[in-house]
């Protein structure tokens, strides 16, 4: 669908270019290079974006609209206004891990409690400019929540496809917003494949992470912008990012590089680390094997939001980890649960399984000496633990169940040494 | 063997706009060779200079990603559905 009644405007975006072969295209609902199938990326001509112009913007991702493929008037249309989530100085977790200074980007604070609100807000803005009337996606859950909510608020239809065995919490937190929710008998990669095929059949639908993916993916840059701005306009020395498709990690790196190029931060060196669950760790395995391509795997992990067996941006994650002197590491499901409880018990932050992956990888990287404990480190907590209650329900239990009497409490109290 | 091949949008200019075309062969390699003779230029869009499936293309025989099977040597039984799909990420 390419017709619109008003001129399209995509802010500083000039066009699209192929990340593989460099072929250029006009702005439009396209995502793969016609020559080599490489992913298309937005090309920009950034105007006079300054720290002051950003600071004068709203307290959400639209303060960075001069760096995103959205119209200047994006703030005038109903959207979920995500972003500007907390950057938490995590002294308790830092102490437990032996790090000097640790910051947590707590993206559980977004409107639907994950970073996906950022990418969907940009996708919705682009979809509007491109004239689409339906927002659709395949999802492991967080994206489903974000698309359903953004569509409800934006007043457009949504069609969301999820694996049928998704966590019940994520089903409920999608269906509640209305719209169409299709539970597909297959894993995420099966759902993704179906969506890719449907995107070829239903060309009037904006599949946020398929045919409007170049715009959508840019929303993750705002994580990097916010970390730098919240640190007082500087870059952390190390950053740990969860890896599903790999898009978030590549966009955080892109954001840091853009800020340096634009003179908004000093171009200090930083190292980028990727975090995966061992049960779905194709990028970590490729990193450790020294490969520059990623062999797909069949996922088997409790970290379902990261369970993409065929991660499209995996090769770029490898490039970035190697270029910056970082690494890609993976942790077992038991370590994921330990990461979730460690984070909750040291910082009072209840993250979903992906956050457990990030914290457990952080721990492993410190223990193996790959992460410098003296360097300032930032880690991204991408979603809320209320979405994956089953992961910790066995270890997060009442201390005891007692009769409603003082004696009963005293008996347990004395025994447990509370 | 006679198979049916699903063509992604960006390759349809090469198939006269058809979303599904017939081909034949005992393996995926042979199916692609037949496609190339019927729709010149198609094979080089799917395979890279080394003759391997491009890293941003997924090819399925039935429900099986050929990277999990035998790659270009994956058998293509009679009546099989072959799908060529751009790799996209999600989340």
pLDDT of A143 higher than 80:
yes
Taking only the tens place, the pLDDT of each residue in A195-247 is 988 988 898 999 998 889 999 999 999 999 999 999 999 999 999 999 999 99
Task: Give the residue from A193, A173, A177 showing the smallest Cα distance to A185.
Answer: A193
Torsion angles phi and psi, residue A163, rounded to 5 = -65, 140
Q: What is the pLDDT of residue A417?
A: 66
Q: What is the pLDDT of residue B55?
A: 83
Which strand (E) or helix (H) includes residue B58? Answer: strand B57-61
Q: What is the pLDDT of residue B67?
A: 86
* A116–B90 C-beta distance less than 8 A: no
pLDDT of A311 higher than 80:
yes
| Number of domains into which chain A is organized | 2
**Dist CA A366 CA A48 (whole Å):** 40
In which band, very low, low, confident or very high, does the pLDDT at A5 lie, cut at 50, 70 and 90? very low
ipTM field: 0.86
* A195–B90 C-beta distance less than 8 A: yes
What's A39's DSSP letter? B
Q: Are A23 and A164 in the same domain?
A: yes
Chain B positions touching chain A (beta carbons under 8 Å): 6, 8-10, 19, 45, 48, 54-58, 60, 63, 65, 67-68, 83, 85-91
Range A129-149 average pLDDT: 95
**Dist CA A151 CA A156 (whole Å):** 5
Residue of A nearest to B64 (CA): A190
Q: Are A365 and A321 in the same domain?
A: yes
What's A386's DSSP letter? G
* A313–B65 C-beta distance less than 8 A: no
pLDDT of A8 higher than 70:
no
Q: Are A100 and A135 in the same domain?
A: no
pLDDT of A318 higher than 90:
yes
What SS3 state is found at B20?
Answer: strand
Least confident of A80-89, A159-168, B20-29: A159-168
Size of interface A-B (CB pairs under 8 A): 98
Strands A13-18, A24-25: pairing kind: antiparallel
In which band, very low, low, confident or very high, does the pLDDT at A4 lie, cut at 50, 70 and 90? very low
pLDDT of A188 higher than 60:
yes
Q: Which two tokens stand for residue A356?
A: 């457990």
Q: Which two tokens stand for residue A166?
A: 């998704």
Q: What is the pLDDT of residue A6?
A: 46
Report CA torsion sign: A232, A235, A241, A245.
positive
Percent of chain A with pLDDT over 70: 97
Q: Which of A158, A192, A216 is the last residue of a domain?
A: A216
**Interface probe, candidates B57, B70, B83, B88, chain A, greatest A C-beta count within 10 A:** B88
In a domain, A106, yes or no: yes
B45 CB neighbours in chain A (<8 A) are 35-37
In a domain, A381, yes or no: yes
In a domain, A173, yes or no: yes
pLDDT of A105 higher than 80:
yes
pLDDT of A40 higher than 70:
yes
Q: Are A127 and A208 in the same domain?
A: yes
Q: How far is B7 from chain A (nearest CA, A)?
A: 9
Q: Which residues contact A158 (CB under 8 A, 6 or more apart)?
A: A134, A135, A136, A147, A148, A150, A151, A152, A177, A178, A179, A180
User: Rg for chain A (alpha carbons), in Å?
Assistant: 21
**Dist CA A318 CA A68 (whole Å):** 25
Q: Are A137 and A193 in the same domain?
A: yes
Spell out where A199-325 has E strands: 205-207, 238-242, 271-277
What SS3 state is found at A1?
Answer: coil
* A203–B58 C-beta distance less than 8 A: no
Taking only the tens place, the pLDDT of each residue in A391-415 is 999 999 999 999 999 999 998 887 7
C-alpha separations of A124 from A115, A147, A225, B21, B70 in Å = 15, 9, 20, 34, 40
Report the half-sphere exposure of A67 (CA within 13 A, side-chain side): 30
Q: Which residues contact A398 (CB under 8 A, 6 or more apart)?
A: none
Range A265-286 average pLDDT: 98
In a domain, B10, yes or no: yes
Q: What is the pLDDT of residue A352?
A: 96
Cβ atoms of A248 and A237 closer than 8 Å = no
In a domain, A328, yes or no: yes
**Dist CA A108 CA A383 (whole Å):** 5
Which strand (E) or helix (H) includes residue A254? Answer: helix A247-261
**Dist CA B75 CA B2 (whole Å):** 12
Range A35-45 average pLDDT: 92
In a domain, A236, yes or no: yes
In which band, very low, low, confident or very high, does the pLDDT at A189 lie, cut at 50, 70 and 90? confident
Torsion angles phi and psi, residue B59, rounded to 5 = -120, 130
In a domain, A179, yes or no: yes
* B58–A36 C-beta distance less than 8 A: no
Domain of B13 in residue numbering reads as 2-86
Q: Are A324 and A344 in the same domain?
A: yes
Q: Are A28 and A61 in the same domain?
A: yes
Pick the residue with more confidence: A167 or A3?
A167
**Dist CA A142 CA A356 (whole Å):** 15
Cβ atoms of A330 and A358 closer than 8 Å = no
Q: Are A299 and A386 in the same domain?
A: yes
For every one of its 91 residues, what pLDDT tens digit does chain B have, with 9 covering 90 and above? 899 999 998 899 999 999 999 999 999 999 999 999 999 999 999 999 899 998 888 899 998 889 888 999 999 999 999 999 887 655 4
| Number of domains into which chain B is organized | 1
Q: Are A152 and A181 in the same domain?
A: yes
In a domain, A313, yes or no: yes
Q: How far is A86 from chain B (nearest CA, A)?
A: 22
In a domain, B91, yes or no: no
In a domain, A409, yes or no: no
Torsion angles phi and psi, residue A74, rounded to 5 = -55, -30
Question: CATH number of the domain that A161 lies in?
Answer: 3.40.50.1100
Q: Are A374 and A282 in the same domain?
A: yes
A188 CB neighbours in chain B (<8 A) are 90
Question: CATH number of the domain that B44 lies in?
Answer: 3.10.20.30
Q: Is A214 on the interface with B (CB under 8 A)?
A: no
Domain of A281 in residue numbering reads as 86-113+220-391
In a domain, B28, yes or no: yes
Q: Are A182 and A331 in the same domain?
A: no
In a domain, B70, yes or no: yes
Q: Which two tokens stand for residue B38?
A: 């019927």
Q: Which residues contact A399 (CB under 8 A, 6 or more apart)?
A: A412, A416, A418
Q: Are A171 and A257 in the same domain?
A: no
In which band, very low, low, confident or very high, does the pLDDT at A140 lie, cut at 50, 70 and 90? confident
In which band, very low, low, confident or very high, does the pLDDT at A134 lie, cut at 50, 70 and 90? very high
**Dist CA A296 CA B58 (whole Å):** 10
In a domain, B42, yes or no: yes
């Amino acid at each position: 669908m390419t017709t619109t009644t008003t001129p399209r405007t995509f802010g500083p975006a000039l066009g699209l270019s192929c990340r593989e072969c460099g072929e250029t295209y006009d702005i439009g609902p396209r995502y793969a290079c016609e020559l080599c199938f490489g992913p298309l990326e937005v090309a920009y001509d950034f105007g006079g974006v300054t720290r002051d112009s950003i600071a004068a913007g709203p307290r959400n991702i639209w303060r960075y609209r001069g760096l995103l493929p959205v119209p200047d008037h994006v703030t005038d249309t109903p959207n979920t206004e995500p972003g500007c989530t907390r950057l938490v100085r995590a002294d308790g977790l830092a102490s437990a891990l032996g790090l000097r200074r640790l910051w947590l980007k707590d993206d559980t604070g977004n409107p639907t409690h994950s970073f996906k609100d950022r990418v969907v807000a940009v996708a919705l803005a682009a979809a509007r400019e491109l004239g689409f009337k339906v927002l659709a996606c395949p999802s492991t859950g967080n994206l489903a929540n974000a698309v359903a909510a953004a569509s409800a608020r934006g007043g457009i239809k949504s069609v969301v496809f999820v694996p049928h065995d998704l966590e019940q919490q994520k089903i409920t937190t999608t269906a509640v917003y209305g719209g169409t929710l299709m539970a597909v008998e297959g894993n995420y990669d099966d759902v993704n494949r179906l969506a890719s095929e449907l995107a070829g059949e239903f060309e009037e639908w904006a599949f946020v992470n398929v045919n409007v993916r170049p715009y959508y993916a840019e929303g993750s840059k705002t994580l990097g912008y916010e970390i730098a701005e919240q640190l007082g306009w500087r870059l952390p020395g190390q950053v740990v990012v969860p890896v599903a498709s790999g898009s978030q990690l590549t966009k955080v790196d892109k954001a840091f590089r853009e800020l340096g190029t634009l003179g908004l931060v000093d171009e200090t060196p930083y190292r980028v680390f990727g975090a995966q669950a061992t049960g779905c760790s194709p990028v970590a395995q490729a990193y450790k094997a020294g490969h520059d391509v990623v062999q797909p795997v069949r996922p088997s992990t409790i970290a379902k939001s990261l369970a993409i067996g065929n991660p499209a941006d995996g090769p770029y994650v490898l490039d970035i980890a190697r270029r910056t002197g970082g690494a890609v590491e993976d942790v077992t499901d038991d370590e994921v649960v330990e990461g979730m409880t460690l984070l909750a018990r040291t910082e009072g932050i209840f993250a979903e399984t992906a956050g457990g992956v990030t914290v457990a990888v952080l721990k492993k990287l410190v223990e193996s000496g790959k992460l410098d404990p003296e360097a300032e480190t930032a880690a991204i907590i991408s979603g809320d633990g209320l979405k994956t209650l089953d992961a910790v329900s066995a270890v997060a239990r009442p201390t005891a169940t007692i009769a409603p009497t003082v004696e009963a409490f005293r008996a347990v109290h004395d025994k447990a040494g509370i | 063997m006679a198979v049916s091949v699903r063509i992604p949008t960006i390759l349809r200019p090469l198939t006269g706009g058809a979303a599904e075309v017939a081909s034949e062969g005992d393996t995926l390699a042979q199916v692609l060779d037949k496609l190339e003779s019927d729709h010149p230029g198609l094979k080089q869009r799917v395979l890279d200079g080394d003759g391997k499936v491009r890293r941003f293309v997924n090819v399925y025989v039935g429900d099986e990603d050929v990277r999990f099977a035998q790659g270009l040597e994956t058998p293509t039984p009679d009546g099989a559905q072959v799908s060529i799909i751009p790799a996209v990420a999600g989340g």
